[in-house]
A and B are shown apart, each in its own frame.
Chain A
Amino acid sequence: MTRPASTGVRRPPRRHLPLQVFLGFVVVYFLVPFWWVVVNASKDSVGLFGGGNTLWFADSVDYLGNLYQLFTFDGGIYGRWILNSAVYALAGGVGATTLAVLAGYGFARYRFGGRRFAFALVLGALMVPATALVIPTFVMFAGLGLTNTMWAVILPSLLNPFGVYLMHVYARDAIPTEILDAARADGAGELRVFLQVALPLMRPAVVTVLLLSAVACWNNYFLPLAMLSDNRLFPVTVGLGLWQGIASANNAGTTPLWSLIILGALVSVIPLVIAFFTLQRHWRGGLALGGLR
């Protein structure tokens, strides 16, 4: 339990049994879909449609066999989708975060002409439906020959006004002006002040923005769905959506594609779940930022 350090002494845990029992039920609700996927990813078509218990394992538990099928189906297209998603999340996440950190610091720490107006525009952009941008961006990219390339997904992802807003708030509140001035008085240039003094202080916010932008790219569906037609460029969200459409259209429903979709869904969430758990310490403080204004 990490109360802010200012509270001083660690208190004994407060256990409130009825509330804990209630929390138990809540946790079950939130875990049921995961449980269903974990259980059913072990089944083959027979186990899936055999009418057994849908919340428990069938007689044959065959994760490895299903994994082999998943990664070899259609020439290993699934592995490509995961890789594409990783590329989009990494490139979009790192790019958007870099721009947001620079801009947030600039807005917070320099009194330049047009600052208020520009920042008002950024805040206004928070309200623009991201999807309203996709159709015209598609037409523009079509004119430039960029549609159906990875750039079509990465470039628009670099825009993250919310990240700029978060970085602005953090850069304004978490960096004492005296430290910057002291560094300047010691003869450090502005770039060095930013890189060696300000940036380390902004780290919690940087990790948060990085994680949020990477997740947003990994989860993106509308943009790649509109931009890409070559299924070898799909991220895993669009790919699984495609499979699901095919499997549902195959009305009778017993196509082997279903077990691939279930396992595919499971595999695709593992990287993000790991990222969130391992980086927990870093992003939790950062998330409070937006709310505390």
Chain B
Amino acid sequence: MTLLMEKDAPQVGERTRAARGRVRLREHLLGWLFVGPFALVFLAFLIAPLAYAAYLSLFQRKLIGGTSFVLFDNYLKAFTDPSFLSGTWFVIRFSLVAIPLQIGIALALALILDAVTSMFARFARLMIFLPYAIPTVIGAIMWGFLYSKSFGPLADVFGLFGATAPDLLSSNNIFYGLVNIVTWQWVGYYMIILYAALQGIDPSLYEAARIDGAGRWQIAFRIKIPLISPAILLILVFSLIGTLQFFNEPQILRPLAAGAIGPDFTPNMYAYQQAFGLANINYGSAISFALGGVVFVGVYAFLFFTRKRRSFL
């Protein structure tokens, strides 16, 4: 709009300003032309569903009386619903254990692979990354077999040491069974990202540190890890977002771990059960929105405490 107004008010230097205006307008148009297609998809499949879910979550459908507007009743219900609360508590506990474990292992492996350069190290890097290429559903099915009493090897392996194998599908151990699956699935991916970041460090820094008398460990802890901390932070945030939405693995193991995994095991499973199992779309929307709130608060709390907000978002 300002561009047009400038044109209407002729004064000295009008031509150059109008020319600049045309350039600016062109830049606006070109920018939106490139971004436009994605913006459309963004509106249609992110903004619109979110707005619609927010809208849906404000209603309740009853057998008698039909659908009625209830404002925040669904949310009050969700945050006092033992199913939602226990599921949320589970994914929080699970995140606190699984994420540091995965990232710790991934970091250790990345540092090793950065230090050891042999044929075997290269082979190991690929093999550790391999599970990332496996759909989480298939990964869960594979581990389900390994945990299974009828055809899993755990009994044999523990038998070698004269011990009885733990049943990783029982309600006492399912937590660890799932921690193991996600660790196997994601460590390789995190490792590759951290490894790539390590490879991006200028090696002359190491030479300088060595001349100053730093040893391997000091180089790792004082130079390498601080320099790749943005990558570590990025992984932490993404794994937190992913883990709070935990769905695929427990959903797949549910038939095998009867009794240990209920339909409300994680908030996402609960939302799925409500929306598609019980055709309670309104409450399902409220739960997934509430979960979105938990993710948002979780990520922001995390970024706040690490005080690194500006390096990422």
Q: Residues of A at under 8 Å CB distance from B? A: 1, 3-4, 6-7, 11, 13-16, 19-20, 22-24, 26-27, 29-34, 36-37, 40, 48-49, 53-55, 98-100, 102-103, 105-107, 109-113, 115, 118, 121-140, 155-156, 158-159, 161, 164, 190, 194, 215, 218-219, 221-222, 225-226, 236-238, 240-241, 244-245, 248-249, 253, 258, 261-262, 265, 268-269, 272-273, 275-277, 280, 284-285, 287-288, 290-293
Interface status of B117 (Cβ within 8 A of chain A): yes
Q: Which residue of A lies closest to B119 (CB)?
A: A13
A-B contact pairs, 24 of them (CB 8 A): A6-B202, A7-B203, A11-B117, A15-B116, A19-B112, A23-B120, A55-B153, A102-B38, A106-B34, A115-B31, A155-B45, A218-B135, A219-B135, A219-B137, A221-B247, A222-B247, A244-B144, A248-B256, A273-B130, A276-B130, A287-B196, A288-B193, A291-B230, A293-B234
Closest 7 CB pairs of A and B: A106-B34, A112-B31, A291-B231, A288-B196, A110-B31, A248-B255, A103-B38
Asked if B124 and A111 make an inter-chain contact with CB atoms under 8 angstroms apart, the answer reads no
Asked if A290 and B137 make an inter-chain contact with CB atoms under 8 angstroms apart, the answer reads no
In the complex with contacts A99-B41, A277-B126, A293-B312, A23-B193 CB distance below 8 A: no
In the complex with contacts A20-B120, A133-B50, A288-B193, A106-B142 CB distance below 8 A: no
Complex Cα gap A73–B72 (Å): 49
Asked if A99 and B37 make an inter-chain contact with CB atoms under 8 angstroms apart, the answer reads yes
Interface status of B99 (Cβ within 8 A of chain A): no
Contacts of A245 on B, CB cut-off 8 Å? 255
Interface of A is mostly: helix
Asked if B56 and A269 make an inter-chain contact with CB atoms under 8 angstroms apart, the answer reads no
Asked if A140 and B48 make an inter-chain contact with CB atoms under 8 angstroms apart, the answer reads yes
Interface of B is mostly: helix
Question: Which chain B residues numbered 1 to 55 have a C-beta less than 8 Å away from chain A?
Answer: 27-35, 37-39, 41-42, 44-46, 48-50, 52-53
Asked if B241 and A29 make an inter-chain contact with CB atoms under 8 angstroms apart, the answer reads no
Asked if B292 and A16 make an inter-chain contact with CB atoms under 8 angstroms apart, the answer reads no
In the complex with contacts A133-B46, A240-B141, A249-B255, A290-B193 CB distance below 8 A: yes
Asked if B196 and A140 make an inter-chain contact with CB atoms under 8 angstroms apart, the answer reads no
Contacts of B28 on A, CB cut-off 8 Å? 110, 112-113
Asked if A126 and B241 make an inter-chain contact with CB atoms under 8 angstroms apart, the answer reads yes
Known pairs A136-B48, A136-B50, A221-B247. 18 more at Cβ < 8 A?
A: A14-B116, A26-B124, A103-B38, A103-B39, A110-B27, A110-B34, A112-B30, A112-B32, A132-B53, A161-B46, A221-B248, A248-B258, A258-B151, A265-B141, A276-B132, A287-B193, A291-B197, A293-B312
* Of B42, B119, B138, B230, the contact of A269 (CB 8 Å cutoff): B138
In the complex with contacts A240-B138, A272-B133, A135-B146 CB distance below 8 A: no
Interface string of B105-145 (1 = CB under 8 A from A): 00001001101111111111011111111111111011111
Asked if A36 and B153 make an inter-chain contact with CB atoms under 8 angstroms apart, the answer reads yes
Q: Which residue of A lies closest to B131 (CB)?
A: A30
Q: Which residue of A lies closest to B187 (CB)?
A: A30
Complex Cα gap A175–B105 (Å): 35
Asked if B248 and A222 make an inter-chain contact with CB atoms under 8 angstroms apart, the answer reads yes
Asked if B37 and A102 make an inter-chain contact with CB atoms under 8 angstroms apart, the answer reads yes
* Of B30, B115, B120, B196, the contact of A285 (CB 8 Å cutoff): B196
Asked if B45 and A133 make an inter-chain contact with CB atoms under 8 angstroms apart, the answer reads yes
Q: How far is the CB of B46 from chain A (nearest CB, A)?
A: 6
Complex Cα gap A138–B231 (Å): 35
Q: How far is the CB of B14 from chain A (nearest CB, A)?
A: 23
Complex Cα gap A287–B299 (Å): 22
Q: How far is the CB of B199 from chain A (nearest CB, A)?
A: 7
Contacts of B113 on A, CB cut-off 8 Å? 23
Interface status of B291 (Cβ within 8 A of chain A): yes
Contacts of B153 on A, CB cut-off 8 Å? 36, 53-55
Interface status of B295 (Cβ within 8 A of chain A): yes
Asked if A22 and B112 make an inter-chain contact with CB atoms under 8 angstroms apart, the answer reads yes
Contacts of A292 on B, CB cut-off 8 Å? 197, 200, 230-231
Complex Cα gap A281–B78 (Å): 48
* Of A24, A122, A134, A244, the contact of B42 (CB 8 Å cutoff): A122
Q: Which residue of B lies closest to A53 (CB)?
A: B156
Interface stretch (choices B170-178, B217-225, B269-277):
B269-277
Q: Which residue of A lies closest to B135 (CB)?
A: A219
Complex Cα gap A49–B274 (Å): 37
Interface status of B184 (Cβ within 8 A of chain A): yes
Asked if B35 and A118 make an inter-chain contact with CB atoms under 8 angstroms apart, the answer reads yes
Complex Cα gap A20–B134 (Å): 25
Q: Which residue of B lies closest to A268 (CB)?
A: B138
Interface status of B268 (Cβ within 8 A of chain A): yes
Complex Cα gap A215–B137 (Å): 13
Asked if A110 and B30 make an inter-chain contact with CB atoms under 8 angstroms apart, the answer reads yes
Asked if B192 and A287 make an inter-chain contact with CB atoms under 8 angstroms apart, the answer reads yes
Asked if B276 and A226 make an inter-chain contact with CB atoms under 8 angstroms apart, the answer reads yes
Asked if B197 and A140 make an inter-chain contact with CB atoms under 8 angstroms apart, the answer reads no
Complex Cα gap A124–B56 (Å): 22
Q: Which residue of B lies closest to A245 (CB)?
A: B255
Asked if A112 and B27 make an inter-chain contact with CB atoms under 8 angstroms apart, the answer reads yes
